Amino acid sequence: MNENKRTFYQTRSAHSAFETRAEENGKKYISGYFAVFNSEYEIWPGAVETVADTAFDEALSDDIRCLIDHETRLVLGRNKANTLTLKADSRGLWGEVEINENDQDAVNLYERVKRGDVDQCSFGFDILDEEFEDRGDTVKWTIKKVKLYEVSIVTFPAYEDTSVSARKRQLGEMKKRSIEAWKHKTLKKLKGEA
């Protein structure tokens, strides 16, 4: 773990090539990637983030739901109920949710994905471990380990304002600590202590 660990719920979004399939027994499924590993995405100009291929290693045995647009009242499936399957492979976090034919919201979403009207996703999590890199003109965070709560099929993915604000605040604090450390080191040198 690093000293910059944050533990508050966040979301990240991405475009995914979701697929629908129907089996002969009538069961319907939506599947696709909820996260892609090692792909940088811009948080704001000069700041990027990526998800490491280790991020979900210890997270997939938790109780995770698949939602519509992060709405907790619109549950499509749940891994503990065996209606949601999640696995991490070399590309990213892949998932498949079984559609409940008796849930009109789920059926409507299935049809929207099938037509290509909805094809984006997101996941909700807490960061347990991450790395920070100052590249001079840009900064980069690499999310290495998460506590995963949910994955969502979304109409409009967005990097939430709260997450952007948190990253900016974190960067400001890191820069402030760096300046304070430099001042302390320089003062020691001037006094002949270093």
What predicted TM-score, i.e. pTM, was given to this entire model? 0.77
Burial of 42 (0-12, 13-18, 19+ CB in 10 A): exposed
- The answer to whether position 28 is within a domain reads yes
- The answer to whether position 80 is within a domain reads yes
Q: Positive or negative CA dihedral for 182, 187, 192, 194? A: negative
Rounded to an integer, what is the distance from CA 121 to the centroid of its chain? 10
**Residue 14 clears pLDDT 80, i.e. is over it:** no
Rounded to whole angstroms, how far apart are CA atoms 82 and 73? 19
- The answer to whether position 105 is within a domain reads yes
How many distinct structural domains can be found in the chain? 1
| pLDDT digits 0-9 by tens, 45-91 | 888 889 999 999 999 999 999 999 999 999 999 999 999 999 999 99
Beta bridge partners of 141: 49, 132
Q: Which two tokens stand for residue 160?
A: 């939430």
Q: How far is CA 97 from CA 92, 115, 123, 125, in A?
A: 16, 17, 14, 19
| pLDDT digits 0-9 by tens, 130-150 | 999 988 888 899 999 999 999
- The answer to whether position 41 is within a domain reads yes
- The answer to whether position 4 is within a domain reads no
- The answer to whether position 26 is within a domain reads yes
Helix%, strand%, coil% for the chain, nearest 5: 25, 45, 35
Find the domain containing 149 and state its range.
Answer: 10-159
**Residue 187 clears pLDDT 80, i.e. is over it:** no
**Residue 3 clears pLDDT 60, i.e. is over it:** no
Residue 49: how many CB atoms within 10 A of its CB? 19
Q: Are the C-beta atoms of residues 25 and 113 closer than 8 Å to each other?
A: no
So what's the pLDDT on residue 191? 78
- The answer to whether position 171 is within a domain reads no
- What is the average pLDDT value for the chain, to the nearest integer? 84
So what's the pLDDT on residue 178? 61
- The answer to whether position 189 is within a domain reads no
Rounded to an integer, what is the distance from CA 44 to the centroid of its chain? 16
From the list 1, 4, 22, 5, the residue with the least C-alpha distance to 113 is 22
So what's the pLDDT on residue 175? 66
User: Looking at 5-164, which runs of residues are DSSP E strands?
Assistant: 10-15, 19-22, 28-36, 41-44, 47-51, 65-68, 71-78, 84-88, 92-99, 120-134, 139-154
